[in-house]
Amino acid sequence: MVCLAIAVIGSAPAGSPPGAAAVRRAAISDTQLAAVTSGVLYLEVVAAPGDTAAKVAAIYAGSEKAAPAIRAANDGSEPTAETFYRIPFELLLNVHRRAVLSALYPEELPRSPLVHGSDGEGPYGLYRLRSGEALYSSVVVRFCGRVDPAEVNALAEVIAARSGIKDVRRIPADYPVKIPLNLILPEFLPEGAPERVEVEDRIASMIRYRLSSGAARLQGVHVILDAGHGGDDPGAESHGVSEDEYAYDVMCRVRDLLIRRTAARVATTIRDRSTGYQPIEGRLRRGTDEYLLTEPPYDLRSPGAATTGVNLRWQFANKELDRLTAQGVDPEKVIFISFHADSLHRSLRGTMIYVPGREHRRALPRGVSAADLDRAEGLSRSLARELILSLRAREVAVHPFIPIRDHVIRSGRRWIPAVLRASRVPHSLLIEIVNLNNDLDRERIVEGKFRQNVAAAVVEALTRHYAEDCPAPPVLASRAGGGASLDIGSGTMK
């Protein structure tokens, strides 16, 4: 038996297609690997003595009729004992498709530990709490996707009542928690449920979207940076820490690194009259001097700025995209990133990244097709994955449950953050840097070193996204057997 002690293998060799590793693999078990090659998904299994293509097809595809296609995916050969044999993703049974996707893309489609059943009160998903886990974060947030404090608390009470829990603060380890099926995210529904299959198929379909060309040192890449709120609108606030000031400082640090360390061109939607783009160390003082760089400039101290300002941001990004493409810039090389800090249930910490999910847009933006929006979601997801790797490599906490999301769930509605909803920029991300309601997150964001690490991770992710032979960051490379991260810089700004 071949033992796989790795989590991810492989990075792009020189000359491979840009935007993704030529071959990327993740371990499912000691004898199974999930693999993606140039945007095509496979399951690779270690063949046992006596295995044939027909036998492999029966086990993993559900029918021996798939044998010719499986044989074709292996250069026409039959399996050889103790070596890997490849099965194309589209031939796999649902259970194996899920395993491939969860291994390669756990930030978007995590493995499901739920056991499903039904009783007199209806269908449910059962989860057994581990020692130290809480009903709020480990059940409501994880399996129901709720993050708003009031909603998390309310659903915790519903689930507690359904499970016969008297005191949510004193639940013994291994207690069987029953989650009503109608509260569970599609990702955790029973195998084969239409809503779950739809999500799995969508994640799989996004893999095929890859950059058509690379950009060494981000040459020819145009980055539009935004920081949420500002002026009279502080955004989320907690214990004297306001979202707008810290999001703006991170944006300034990203701008500085891009200008000093790469060949990218940078534009911003917003500017502070008092400090300009100068990063500031330590705790930040609340100010109201920010304005949007529209034509004419828009003062964020204007009445209704909280709503108007959001719309002006995506309009700015779209106009910048139009200006650049009119000059012959490849739309793939235009990126829009908006920085924020959220106010979630206090049990949660870490960065979350929102991408523009086409299925959750209210309407097609002007001049954009559904195919364009699918491609934008796919490219944005690819960049978001790189950012998650870079953040973890720099020991920046990442949201533990689906940190890459294509919509918000709040107040019984599913929607895309407004700044992304009408964006036509092919790469669009909204980054929630921290949860200001969490004590540890709040303590970290007031540190200049932390904000610099976040900024460096963003630049590393951008550079790797467009590179053809850039190594994986240290956390990943240590498992893969080589490579070091880009030397973008950390610590105090000089």
The reply to whether 485 falls in a domain is: no
**SS3 readout for 90-131:** HHCCHHHHHHHHHHHCCCCCCCCCCEEEEECCEEEEEEECCC
229-252 per-position pLDDT tens digit: 999 999 999 999 999 999 999 999
pLDDT at residue 486 greater than cutoff 70: no
Question: Kindly report the CA angle at 353 between 490 and 462, in degrees rounded to 5?
Answer: 50
Instruction: Tell me, yes or no, whether 345 and 445 share the same domain.
Output: yes
User: What is the average pLDDT across 17-41?
Assistant: 82
Q: How do strand 32-37 and strand 40-46 relate by DSSP bridges? A: antiparallel
What token pair was written down for 446? 């007031």
The reply to whether 244 falls in a domain is: yes
Alpha-carbon gap, residue 195 to 200, rounded angstroms: 9
**What 3-state DSSP class applies to 321?**
helix
The closest alpha carbon to 408, from 338, 314, 342, 457, belongs to: 342
Instruction: Tell me, yes or no, whether 153 and 286 share the same domain.
Output: no
The reply to whether 209 falls in a domain is: no
pLDDT at residue 479 greater than cutoff 60: no
Q: How many domains does the chain have?
A: 3
pLDDT computed for residue 5 by the predictor = 34
Domain end among 104, 134, 159: 104
| pTM of the shown model | 0.90
User: What is the average pLDDT across 262-267?
Assistant: 98
The reply to whether 189 falls in a domain is: no
How far does CA 200 lie from the centroid of its chain? 15
Domain that holds residue 267: 216-480
pLDDT computed for residue 492 by the predictor = 39
The reply to whether 2 falls in a domain is: no
Alpha-carbon gap, residue 120 to 382, rounded angstroms: 44
Q: How do strand 334-342 and strand 222-227 relate by DSSP bridges? A: parallel
The reply to whether 490 falls in a domain is: no
CATH number for 358: 3.40.630.40
Alpha-carbon gap, residue 32 to 96, rounded angstroms: 10
The reply to whether 3 falls in a domain is: no
The reply to whether 202 falls in a domain is: no
